[in-house]
Protein backbone atom coordinates (compact mmCIF):
# COMPACT_ATOMS: atom_id res chain seq x y z
CA UNK A 1 0.00 0.00 0.00
CA UNK A 2 1.14 3.53 -0.71
CA UNK A 3 1.39 5.72 2.41
CA UNK A 4 -0.34 8.85 1.15
CA UNK A 5 -1.09 11.93 3.21
CA UNK A 6 -3.20 14.13 0.96
CA UNK A 7 -2.76 17.68 2.22
CA UNK A 8 -3.60 19.82 -0.80
CA UNK A 9 -3.55 23.57 -1.24
CA UNK A 10 -6.65 24.40 -3.24
CA UNK A 11 -6.28 26.81 -6.13
CA UNK A 12 -6.85 27.08 -9.84
CA UNK A 13 -4.25 24.45 -10.67
CA UNK A 14 -1.67 22.42 -8.81
CA UNK A 15 0.57 19.93 -10.60
CA UNK A 16 3.21 18.25 -8.45
CA UNK A 17 4.55 15.18 -10.23
CA UNK A 18 6.78 12.52 -8.73
CA UNK A 19 9.20 10.65 -10.98
CA UNK A 20 7.78 7.22 -11.83
CA UNK A 21 11.25 5.68 -12.04
CA UNK A 22 11.65 6.30 -8.31
CA UNK A 23 9.20 3.46 -7.70
CA UNK A 24 10.14 -0.21 -8.08
CA UNK A 25 9.73 -0.85 -11.82
CA UNK A 26 10.36 -4.16 -13.57
CA UNK A 27 13.32 -3.97 -15.95
CA UNK A 28 11.30 -4.92 -19.04
CA UNK A 29 9.01 -1.91 -18.55
CA UNK A 30 11.68 0.73 -17.89
CA UNK A 31 11.40 2.25 -21.39
CA UNK A 32 7.62 2.60 -21.05
CA UNK A 33 8.00 4.42 -17.73
CA UNK A 34 10.69 6.70 -19.15
CA UNK A 35 8.67 7.59 -22.26
CA UNK A 36 5.34 8.06 -20.51
CA UNK A 37 6.44 9.11 -17.05
CA UNK A 38 4.36 12.29 -17.10
CA UNK A 39 1.20 10.18 -17.37
CA UNK A 40 2.24 7.62 -14.75
CA UNK A 41 3.85 9.45 -11.82
CA UNK A 42 1.80 10.36 -8.75
CA UNK A 43 0.44 13.89 -9.10
CA UNK A 44 -2.47 16.12 -8.23
CA UNK A 45 -4.22 18.76 -10.32
CA UNK A 46 -6.71 20.96 -8.51
CA UNK A 47 -9.06 22.93 -10.71
CA UNK A 48 -12.09 25.16 -10.36
CA UNK A 49 -14.58 22.53 -11.53
CA UNK A 50 -12.60 19.29 -11.40
CA UNK A 51 -9.77 17.79 -9.36
CA UNK A 52 -7.54 15.00 -10.68
CA UNK A 53 -5.64 12.63 -8.40
CA UNK A 54 -3.23 10.32 -10.20
CA UNK A 55 -1.44 7.54 -8.29
CA UNK A 56 1.33 5.33 -9.57
CA UNK A 57 0.70 1.75 -8.42
CA UNK A 58 2.96 -1.29 -8.42
CA UNK A 59 0.04 -3.66 -8.93
CA UNK A 60 -3.74 -3.62 -9.25
CA UNK A 61 -6.15 -4.81 -6.61
CA UNK A 62 -9.65 -3.80 -5.45
CA UNK A 63 -8.20 -3.28 -1.96
CA UNK A 64 -5.74 -0.71 -3.33
CA UNK A 65 -8.55 1.05 -5.21
CA UNK A 66 -10.64 1.33 -2.05
CA UNK A 67 -7.65 2.59 -0.07
CA UNK A 68 -6.91 5.31 -2.63
CA UNK A 69 -10.57 6.32 -2.92
CA UNK A 70 -10.80 6.81 0.84
CA UNK A 71 -7.73 9.06 0.71
CA UNK A 72 -9.26 11.14 -2.07
CA UNK A 73 -12.63 11.23 -0.33
CA UNK A 74 -11.14 12.73 2.82
CA UNK A 75 -9.71 15.60 0.77
CA UNK A 76 -13.18 16.70 -0.39
CA UNK A 77 -15.31 19.31 1.39
CA UNK A 78 -18.43 19.14 -0.80
CA UNK A 79 -20.50 16.48 -2.53
CA UNK A 80 -18.96 15.34 -5.82
CA UNK A 81 -19.12 12.94 -8.73
CA UNK A 82 -16.26 10.52 -9.32
CA UNK A 83 -14.94 8.28 -12.05
CA UNK A 84 -11.69 6.35 -12.30
CA UNK A 85 -9.39 5.60 -15.20
CA UNK A 86 -6.34 3.34 -15.44
CA UNK A 87 -3.02 3.65 -17.20
CA UNK A 88 -1.83 0.25 -18.37
CA UNK A 89 0.67 -1.65 -20.50
CA UNK A 90 -0.30 -4.03 -23.30
CA UNK A 91 2.00 -6.44 -25.13
CA UNK A 92 1.71 -7.72 -28.71
CA UNK A 93 1.45 -11.51 -28.80
CA UNK A 94 3.72 -11.92 -31.82
CA UNK A 95 6.25 -9.08 -31.78
CA UNK A 96 6.50 -8.66 -28.03
CA UNK A 97 6.12 -4.89 -28.49
CA UNK A 98 4.76 -2.91 -25.53
CA UNK A 99 2.00 -0.35 -25.86
CA UNK A 100 0.95 2.18 -23.21
CA UNK A 101 -2.68 3.27 -22.74
CA UNK A 102 -2.78 6.37 -20.54
CA UNK A 103 -5.62 7.29 -18.22
CA UNK A 104 -8.03 10.05 -19.21
CA UNK A 105 -11.65 11.14 -18.91
CA UNK A 106 -12.46 9.27 -22.11
CA UNK A 107 -10.15 6.26 -21.91
CA UNK A 108 -9.94 3.12 -19.75
CA UNK A 109 -12.75 4.24 -17.45
CA UNK A 110 -13.88 1.81 -14.78
CA UNK A 111 -17.47 3.08 -14.90
CA UNK A 112 -19.75 4.13 -17.75
CA UNK A 113 -20.66 7.35 -15.95
CA UNK A 114 -19.47 9.18 -12.82
CA UNK A 115 -20.96 8.18 -9.47
CA UNK A 116 -22.54 10.76 -7.17
CA UNK A 117 -21.15 10.88 -3.63
CA UNK A 118 -23.32 12.89 -1.21
CA UNK A 119 -23.34 10.85 1.98
CA UNK A 120 -22.10 7.72 3.71
CA UNK A 121 -24.58 5.54 1.83
CA UNK A 122 -23.23 6.77 -1.51
CA UNK A 123 -19.66 6.28 -0.30
CA UNK A 124 -20.25 2.72 0.87
CA UNK A 125 -22.13 1.83 -2.31
CA UNK A 126 -19.24 3.10 -4.43
CA UNK A 127 -16.74 1.13 -2.36
CA UNK A 128 -18.74 -2.03 -2.97
CA UNK A 129 -18.66 -1.27 -6.69
CA UNK A 130 -14.87 -0.97 -6.54
CA UNK A 131 -14.57 -4.30 -4.77
CA UNK A 132 -16.61 -6.08 -7.44
CA UNK A 133 -14.82 -4.72 -10.54
CA UNK A 134 -13.42 -7.28 -12.98
CA UNK A 135 -10.22 -5.67 -14.25
CA UNK A 136 -9.86 -7.73 -17.42
CA UNK A 137 -13.35 -6.76 -18.58
CA UNK A 138 -12.34 -3.09 -18.37
CA UNK A 139 -9.15 -3.34 -20.45
CA UNK A 140 -9.47 -1.72 -23.86
CA UNK A 141 -7.32 -3.33 -26.57
CA UNK A 142 -6.85 -2.31 -30.23
CA UNK A 143 -7.23 -6.00 -31.21
CA UNK A 144 -7.06 -9.50 -29.78
CA UNK A 145 -3.36 -9.55 -30.73
CA UNK A 146 -2.66 -7.38 -27.70
CA UNK A 147 -2.72 -8.75 -24.17
CA UNK A 148 -2.87 -6.91 -20.85
CA UNK A 149 0.29 -7.13 -18.74
CA UNK A 150 0.28 -4.37 -16.10
CA UNK A 151 -1.58 -1.45 -14.50
CA UNK A 152 0.80 1.49 -14.05
CA UNK A 153 -1.42 4.12 -12.46
CA UNK A 154 -4.93 4.89 -11.29
CA UNK A 155 -6.47 8.34 -11.80
CA UNK A 156 -9.49 9.71 -9.96
CA UNK A 157 -11.58 12.40 -11.66
CA UNK A 158 -13.51 14.41 -9.08
CA UNK A 159 -16.26 16.61 -10.50
CA UNK A 160 -17.09 19.27 -7.93
CA UNK A 161 -20.62 20.16 -6.83
CA UNK A 162 -20.12 23.60 -5.24
CA UNK A 163 -22.61 24.53 -2.54
CA UNK A 164 -23.68 20.94 -1.86
CA UNK A 165 -21.87 20.08 1.37
CA UNK A 166 -21.30 16.48 2.42
CA UNK A 167 -22.11 17.70 5.94
CA UNK A 168 -23.25 21.06 7.29
CA UNK A 169 -24.07 22.66 10.63
CA UNK A 170 -27.68 22.43 11.80
CA UNK A 171 -29.58 23.33 14.98
CA UNK A 172 -30.79 20.22 16.79
CA UNK A 173 -33.91 20.10 19.00
CA UNK A 174 -33.40 20.54 22.77
CA UNK A 175 -34.35 16.95 23.63
CA UNK A 176 -31.34 15.73 21.60
CA UNK A 177 -28.92 18.44 22.74
CA UNK A 178 -29.78 17.79 26.42
CA UNK A 179 -29.65 13.99 26.17
CA UNK A 180 -26.45 12.88 27.93
CA UNK A 181 -26.52 9.59 26.04
CA UNK A 182 -26.23 11.35 22.67
CA UNK A 183 -23.10 12.99 21.27
CA UNK A 184 -24.65 15.62 19.01
CA UNK A 185 -21.27 16.58 17.47
CA UNK A 186 -22.35 20.20 17.19
CA UNK A 187 -19.60 21.76 19.36
CA UNK A 188 -15.84 21.39 19.68
CA UNK A 189 -13.91 20.60 22.88
CA UNK A 190 -14.05 24.29 23.88
CA UNK A 191 -17.84 24.38 23.55
CA UNK A 192 -17.80 26.42 20.35
CA UNK A 193 -20.23 25.37 17.58
CA UNK A 194 -18.74 23.75 14.46
CA UNK A 195 -19.12 25.85 11.31
CA UNK A 196 -16.78 23.95 8.94
CA UNK A 197 -19.43 21.81 7.21
CA UNK A 198 -17.57 18.62 8.12
CA UNK A 199 -20.05 16.88 10.45
CA UNK A 200 -20.06 13.89 8.07
CA UNK A 201 -16.34 13.37 8.67
CA UNK A 202 -16.70 13.67 12.44
CA UNK A 203 -19.32 10.90 12.36
Whether the pTM exceeds 0.85: the reply is: no
Neighbours of 83 (CB within 10 A): 17
> Residues 19-31: pLDDT tens digits?
555 557 889 999 9
Query: What per-residue confidence (pLDDT) applies to 181?
Result: 56
What's the mean pLDDT in 49-76?
94
Beta strands 50-56; 98-101: pairing state: unpaired
* Spatial separation of the C-alpha atoms in residues 193 and 184, rounded to whole Å: 11
For 114, phi then psi, to 5°, come to: -65, 150
In the three-class reduction of DSSP (H, G, I as helix; E, B as strand; rest coil), residue 146 is classed as strand
What's the mean pLDDT in 96-125?
93
Amino acid sequence: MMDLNLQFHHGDSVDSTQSPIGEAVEEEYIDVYKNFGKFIGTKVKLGRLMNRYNFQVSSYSPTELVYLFKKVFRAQTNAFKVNISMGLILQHKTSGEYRFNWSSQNNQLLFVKPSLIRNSMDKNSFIQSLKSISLISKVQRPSTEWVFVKVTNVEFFIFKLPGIAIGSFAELPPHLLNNKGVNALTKDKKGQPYTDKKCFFRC
